[in-house]
């Protein structure tokens, strides 16, 4: 799974149904799904949710995990190449999970790996399993995806979760509002497919659009992606969702965030019925368990 662009509506539905099935299983049934299989993870960038949810997902369906959570403690620090690191990991595991700072890293690694490889975030390019769990969250919490009005807020220029989500949403009949500071609009080099297939408009004004949205997907402005810190300082804190803004939302709107967050969603919002970002992280474990089961279990689930 290198790009969410390799998925269509039917493939998403296969994953969603496998997720529902796994959630419905008892623990004994679940633990048989990939018994004896090993997941190998390589994280060249920090992670909390993606790495831990893959590990928790693998354990929940009976497999084990090993890996490098911090590349500075691996032989990459001595100069070992990504290619050799991937080759070695594919000797010790049945499926690989890679997060790397370079665009194209997962495509490159998938060609080298002798085992299936899952992209857990490649540069500013894509984070396909995040998009899958995002779609699952929308489907579960709103009972549908088609017909919704979805606002995506924040760092749209560098946000790999944003690109994967937009590619994924382009399979559905949705109305997307892209809300960002002008300097953080989606990159023109990545939008051909999105422009062709997705109905979207762009604005920098969050408040004027809030009462019309079914889903408000908030993202962090990512300091680590800016080449010039002065540019970051100009846009940091551009959007802050607090109680006053929640009052302006539809009563049944949902607020999502891939996390981690800084100050773009106030902690006061966490207990509101609209806040779904922790549930979203829980669905991350469930959807990743389904993906691992579909990849590793020849007999299906
Ligand atoms: N959403 C996400 O990718 O979180 P982590 O960076 O903590 O894995």
Query: Alpha-carbon distance 83 to 142, whole Å?
Result: 42
Cα(13) to centroid(ligand 1), Å: 23
ipTM: 0.99
Predicted confidence band of residue 196 (pLDDT cuts 50, 70, 90): confident
Instruction: Check pLDDT > 90 for residue 262.
Output: yes
What is the pLDDT, as a whole number, of residue 300?
75
**Closest atom of ligand 1 relative to the 46 alpha carbon:** 6
Which residue is associated with the tokens 């949403």? 169
Q: For the residues 180-198, what does the mean pLDDT come to? A: 86
Cα(6) to centroid(ligand 1), Å: 21
Inter-residue contact 39 to 115 (CB < 8 Å): no
> In a mutational test of the pocket of ligand 1, which residue from 159, 224, 259 has the highest number of ligand atoms less than 8 Å from its CB?
259
Predicted confidence band of residue 249 (pLDDT cuts 50, 70, 90): very high
Predicted confidence band of residue 30 (pLDDT cuts 50, 70, 90): very high
Which residues line the annotated binding site for carbamoyl phosphate?
A: 49-50, 99, 127, 130, 259-260
Pocket of ligand 1 contains residue 130 by CB under 6 Å: yes
Ligand 1 atom 5, closest CA: 47
Q: What is the pLDDT of residues 108-122, one digit of tens each?
A: 999 999 999 999 999
Q: For the residues 205-229, what does the mean pLDDT come to? A: 95
What is the pLDDT, as a whole number, of residue 288?
98
Q: Are strands 175-179 and 215-218 parallel, antiparallel or unpaired?
A: unpaired
Q: What is the mean pLDDT of the chain?
A: 96
The arrangement of strands across the sheet holding 199-203 comes to 199-203, 175-179, 149-153, 215-218, 254-256
Predicted confidence band of residue 45 (pLDDT cuts 50, 70, 90): very high
What is the pLDDT, as a whole number, of residue 237?
93
Pocket of ligand 1 contains residue 128 by CB under 6 Å: no
What is the pLDDT, as a whole number, of residue 299?
77
Q: Write the DSSP assignment of 191-258 as a string of letters.
A: -HHHHHH-EEEEES-SGGGGGG-SEEEE----GGG-SSHHHHHHHTT---B-HHHHHHS-TT-EEE--
What is the pLDDT, as a whole number, of residue 232?
95
**Closest atom of ligand 1 relative to the 127 alpha carbon:** 3
Greater pLDDT, 267 or 299: 267
The DSSP letter of residue 101 is S
Which residues line the annotated binding site for L-aspartate?
A: 78, 160, 220
What is the pLDDT, as a whole number, of residue 298?
80
pTM for this model (two decimals):
0.96
Cα(299) to centroid(ligand 1), Å: 31
């Amino acid at each position: 799974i290198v790009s969410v662009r390799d998925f269509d509506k039917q493939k998403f539905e296969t994953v969603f149904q496998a997720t529902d099935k796994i959630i419905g299983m008892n623990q004994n049934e679940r633990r048989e799904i990939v018994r004896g299989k090993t997941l190998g993870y390589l994280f060249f960038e920090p992670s909390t949710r993606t790495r831990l949810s893959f590990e928790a997902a693998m354990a929940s369906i009976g497999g084990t995990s090993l890996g490098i959570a911090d590349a500075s403690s691996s032989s990459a620090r001595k100069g070992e190449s990504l290619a050799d690191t991937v080759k070695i990991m594919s000797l010790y595991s049945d499926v690989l999970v890679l997060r790397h700072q370079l665009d194209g890293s997962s495509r490159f690694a998938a060609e080298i790996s002798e085992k299936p490889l899952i992209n857990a975030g490649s540069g500013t390019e894509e984070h396909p399993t995040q998009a899958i769990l995002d779609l699952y969250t929308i489907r579960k919490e709103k009972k549908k995806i088609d017909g919704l009005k979805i606002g995506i807020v924040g760092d749209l220029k560098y946000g790999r979760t944003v690109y994967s989500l937009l590619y994924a949403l382009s399979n559905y009949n949705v109305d997307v509002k892209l809300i960002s500071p002008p300097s953080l609009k989606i990159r023109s080099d990545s939008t051909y497919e999105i422009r062709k297939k997705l109905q979207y408009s762009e604005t920098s004004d969050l408040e004027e659009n809030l009462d019309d949205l079914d889903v408000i997907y908030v993202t962090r402005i990512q300091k680590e992606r800016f080449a010039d810190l002065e540019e970051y300082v100009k846009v940091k804190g551009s959007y802050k969702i607090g109680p006053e803004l929640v009052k302006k939302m539809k009563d049944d709107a949902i607020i999502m965030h891939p996390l981690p967050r800084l100050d773009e969603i106030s902690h006061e919002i966490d207990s509101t019925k609209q806040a779904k970002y922790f549930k979203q992280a829980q669905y991350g474990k469930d959807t990743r368990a389904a993906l691992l089961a579909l990849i590793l279990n020849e007999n299906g689930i």
